[in-house]
Amino acid sequence: MQSISQLQVLINEAIADLKYPKSPKELYDPISYLMNLGGKRLRPVCLLMACNLFSDNIHKGLKPALAIEVFHNFTLMHDDIMDNAPIRRGKLTVHKKWNNNVAILSGDVMLVEAYKLIMQVDPKILAEVLTIFNDTAAAVCEGQQIDMNFETIENVSETDYIQMIRLKTAVLLAAALKIGALTGGGSQNDAGLLYDFGLNIGLAFQLHDDILDVYGDPEKFGKQTGGDIIANKKTFLLIKARELASGETKKQLIFWINSTEKTDEKVIAVTKIFDDLNVRQLAEFEMSKYAKKALQSLALVDAKDHKKNNLKTFAEDVVIREH
């Protein structure tokens, strides 16, 4: 069994070895640039861990793991354009370093490259893996569209929000684990259990991100806290606050939501409202609920306990991480 950090090194080395045509440079250079910006590589690592539950030959999971990571970065490249984001992992985003047209077209090619990689799985499972991959790719796009729709919808329910993050964030992690299980020779039942594990951990992960954006240590979180508050982003915390606020508290919350101020004063005021309404505790409860569901699914997977330790550690880290 290799550790999570060892698997991250393996993925990074494989990414560094990916070869793209040299011309036209404006099409392929942005792909190498984005893929080599780093990141935790959680999705491909999870695929390899799932593969390793049923096979000692994790290298047969390497191509689909890379496919998942290339696809994930393709979505980031296009998301950055839609969000007009200037920075990705501390560096200029592709559309800022080059331009929007370059980022759109390079992103399109990344999707093609992801398919080239996923096609290299064992032919016996290719049809099933492609179905999972296709369904997941469509779901991620659906989640992104729903998230954009939220920007113009005043009242978003908790149910709507969970569905959005399930599609936008959780399904790709779940698919990585299911594909990893199938690649390693796991049964349909075990592959399904690992999908459920990934889905619930993905939900817990995003809920924790919502919490960290308000309450995290900026040095450990890797970015300034309060960004979601300034942007009026409809996170779990804001949705619950709008649901629970009444009287003067509700008036104050609506005032700050409608305010165009992008200052620390707004962050402090809204955070105090969150504190008064105990929404952090409610978010932590939901996060823990999904993490518990994930561990219950993992416990049912027919594999040796010591082989499941990496995935168990990964799940536990999701709910205690500070960055």
pLDDT digits (tens, 9 = 90+) for 69-128: 999 999 999 999 998 888 888 899 999 999 999 999 999 999 999 999 999 999 999 999
Domains of the chain, start order: 1-162 (1.10.600.10), 187-323 (1.10.600.10)
Asked if the model's pLDDT at residue 206 lies above 60, the reply is yes
Single-letter residue type at 213: D
For residues 119 and 58, what is the distance between their CA atoms, to the nearest angstrom? 17
The predicted structure's pLDDT at residue 90: 84
pLDDT tens sequence across 235-253: 999 999 999 999 999 999 9
Tell me, rounded to whole angstroms, the distance of Cα 130 from its chain centroid: 20
For residues 41 and 29, what is the distance between their CA atoms, to the nearest angstrom? 20
For residues 55 and 34, what is the distance between their CA atoms, to the nearest angstrom? 31
The answer to whether the CB of 4 falls within 8 A of the CB of 314 is: yes
- Which residues make beta-bridge pairs with 88? 91
Asked if the model's pLDDT at residue 38 lies above 90, the reply is no
pLDDT tens sequence across 142-179: 999 999 999 999 889 999 999 999 999 999 999 999 99
The predicted structure's pLDDT at residue 323: 44
Worst-scoring range by mean pLDDT, 55-59, 197-201, 213-217, 295-299? 213-217
Give the side-chain half-sphere CA count within 13 A for 207. Answer: 30
The residues, ordered by sequence, that sit 6+ positions from 220 with a Cβ below 8 Å of its Cβ are 322, 323
pLDDT band for 20, please (50, 70, 90 cuts): very high
Single-letter residue type at 74: F
The answer to whether the CB of 237 falls within 8 A of the CB of 210 is: yes
Residues present in the chain in total = 323
For residues 213 and 147, what is the distance between their CA atoms, to the nearest angstrom? 17
For residues 246 and 223, what is the distance between their CA atoms, to the nearest angstrom? 32
The predicted structure's pLDDT at residue 173: 97
The predicted structure's pLDDT at residue 321: 59
The predicted structure's pLDDT at residue 219: 62
Sort residue 223 into left (φ over 0), alpha (ψ -120 to 50) or beta. beta
Asked if the model's pLDDT at residue 257 lies above 50, the reply is yes
Asked if the model's pLDDT at residue 298 lies above 80, the reply is yes
pLDDT band for 19, please (50, 70, 90 cuts): very high
The predicted structure's pLDDT at residue 142: 97
Nearest of 162, 167, 221, 174 to residue 201 by alpha carbon: 174
What is the average per-residue pLDDT within 260-280? 93
Neighbours of 267 (CB within 10 A): 20
Residue, of 260 and 313, whose pLDDT is higher? 313
Sort residue 157 into left (φ over 0), alpha (ψ -120 to 50) or beta. beta
pLDDT tens sequence across 170-203: 999 999 999 999 999 999 999 999 999 999 999 9
For residues 30 and 143, what is the distance between their CA atoms, to the nearest angstrom? 25
Residue % of the chain over a pLDDT of 90:
85
Tell me, rounded to whole angstroms, the distance of Cα 25 from its chain centroid: 29
* H-run or E-run covering 301: none
